[in-house]
Amino acid sequence: MSSSFDTSAFAGTLGWAGGAVVVVLAATFGVAKIAGKHSVIDTTWGLLFVAIASTVFVRSSGHGDEVRRWLLFGLATLWGLRLAQHIGRRTIGKPEDPRYAELLDKARGNPDLYALRMIYLLQGLLAFIIAAPILVGAFERDSVGPLAWVGVAVWLVGVFFEAVGDSQLERFRRDPGNKGKVNDVGLWRYTRHPNYFGDACVWWGIFLVAADALPGVVTIYSPVIMTLLLTKGSGARILERHMSKRDGWDDYAARTSRFFPLPPKRTAIHS
């Protein structure tokens, strides 16, 4: 194990990566105070991984396999920048997200300290935990094998579903005739959450790049946590609770796979 993984360099990088997360979150909090809304953290989510991947890439130079280092840096950075750009453009000029407004209504004492603890610290910890394949994989000295390239293919599938799904949803929302309707065109015919499915694939792909060598396989908890967050946490579950109030939702939900893309069912519920 010691010959194929640089333990000391890895341990020394954890503090630097954590510091990068703190810097990004501190800057985000400052922007949030100026903008008057904490939902700017949603744009920062992808940038947290860019900061971690960039820090690890620099710190792992000479300590891990070059191809794997570049793969982990490139895959995480491309995904994070695209996501940040998409969310930032979508939310600019919008008021505070109701999720954060509801959360801050529960604050006792200083609302800023409550926000720092319940929004910023929580998301920073989650990002640091989920970034485990990047943190570990960059210090693996073994050459990349077939599993890593399978991971790249899974990542490409994920980015396709996420980017195309987001684009199709934006186009659907821009049409005034679709107001109050349920989007069931394009990828949305095959899964109720193509963007969330794509997000999960991205992290399973990144994990496979790290799992190609020891001890990267141990970081399997990263894509598992991300998938659970998307399906059971603040992703699909909350969104579907909101969407269930729209006309046609029951019919759409009955014929469309909840997460994994599948052909639409032939039967549906008609009101």
Among 97, 121, 142, identify where a domain stops.
142
84 and 181 share one domain:
no
What does the pLDDT look like over 190-239, one tens digit per residue? Answer: 999 999 999 999 999 999 999 998 899 999 999 999 999 999 887 777 78
Amino acid of residue 165: G
If one counts the domains in the chain, the total is 2
Q: Which domain holds residue 45?
A: 1-142
User: Rounded distance, CA 102 to CA 71, Å?
Assistant: 39
pTM: 0.91
What does the pLDDT look like over 104-158, one tens digit per residue? Answer: 888 777 888 888 988 999 999 999 999 999 999 999 999 999 999 999 999 999 9
CA dihedral sign, ordered 157, 163, 164, 166: positive
27 and 122 share one domain:
yes
User: Rounded distance, CA 260 to CA 127, Å?
Assistant: 24
Tell which residue, 248, 214, 46, has the closest CA to residue 54. 46
User: Quick check: 246 pLDDT over 60?
Assistant: yes
Token pair in block for residue 71: 């793969």
262 and 163 share one domain:
yes
Among 86, 108, 142, identify where a domain stops.
142
148 and 137 share one domain:
no
Tell which residue, 166, 6, 12, has the closest CA to residue 88. 166
Among 93, 114, 142, identify where a domain stops.
142
User: Quick check: 268 pLDDT over 60?
Assistant: no
